[in-house]
Structure 1
């Protein structure tokens, strides 16, 4: 019987540097996502001095900022946080889609993990629920995914 090797990420943020890219649009919700991401990194051994928060106007602007951040070589991962609410965002599908595609492209082109924490909801209530109340916190999820990917890629 052959042994199957498994590569898994140890969930420790010790010594890692993160950029937290946050949209200003819907900032009351995004601030909760940022709080969740910071809390997650710190609880997993990360240090405040290794966190940089970068604010951009909205989701549409995130991919270009993420690309520049990745190009600096300063960050082990970029955690992208925003909220696009159908009722509040003109061209909702376009904005959400372009942001999603753009961030995926940045990650593939740069090799830098991008934690995807863009809420796309039909209304404000859903967004609030996914920013730290009933449905968890998308900022925590994005930070966790970014950290795990950093640690997995180190071993590949």
Structure 2
């Protein structure tokens, strides 16, 4: 969690379980590709660092952040995964488009998680400008993709202990 004292991706205070026994889906937006590509790299790095096997990671790309919900739904309907990580970036513009997209994506991801009773992780940057997005996709505030992957690992572990 970001504070004025540290970046996003500091996991030194928590124990991250092994990801070796889990299968993950990653749904990534192609819009704002410079940022979402960096988020994707961060997610893959965190999964690999914590033991996820490459063959247990399924990636699909969707046109924009609005389509993350549909992508997660299609992935969960067709593949047996333990958690889905949704990665996107919506940057504030001059119109209310930002508000509608961010709200729809947040609600949609929640609804997909509830529909399938599987962790669907919100790894979507909602920033005022491109620099803030860069700062959160591998810059001075860490990498939200890495944070989303760690969250997916932890939630998959929680679900496996409750099943």
| TM-score in same-fold range (> 0.5) | yes
State the distance in 2 between where 1:87 and 1:129 align: 18
Q: Is the 8 A contact 1:84 1:118 kept in 2?
A: yes
Counterpart of 1:85 in structure 2 is 91
Counterpart of 1:5 in structure 2 is none
TM-score relative to the length of structure 2: 0.86
1:89, distance to aligned residue in structure 2 (A): 7.8
Counterpart of 1:63 in structure 2 is 69
SS class of match (2:133): helix
Counterpart of 2:137 in structure 1 is 131
The change in CA–CA distance for 1:147 and 1:117 in structure 2 (over 3 A counts) is same
The structure with more radius of gyration: 1
Counterpart of 1:3 in structure 2 is none
Q: Is the 8 A contact 1:10 1:151 kept in 2?
A: no
1:69, distance to aligned residue in structure 2 (A): 1.0
1:60, distance to aligned residue in structure 2 (A): 0.7
Counterpart of 2:115 in structure 1 is 109
Counterpart of 2:149 in structure 1 is 143
Q: Is the 8 A contact 1:79 1:117 kept in 2?
A: yes
Bigger shift: residues 69-78 or 12-21: 69-78
1:73, distance to aligned residue in structure 2 (A): 4.2
State the distance in 2 between where 1:88 and 1:26 align: 17
Of 119, 125, 134 in structure 1, the residue corresponding to residue 125 of structure 2 is 119
Q: Do residues 98 (structure 1) and 100 (structure 2) align?
A: no
Counterpart of 2:19 in structure 1 is 13
TM-score relative to the length of structure 1: 0.90
Aligned residues: 149
Counterpart of 2:78 in structure 1 is 72
Q: Do residues 50 (structure 1) and 56 (structure 2) align?
A: yes
Tell me how large the CA RMSD over aligned residues is. 1.8
State the distance in 2 between where 1:47 and 1:57 align: 26
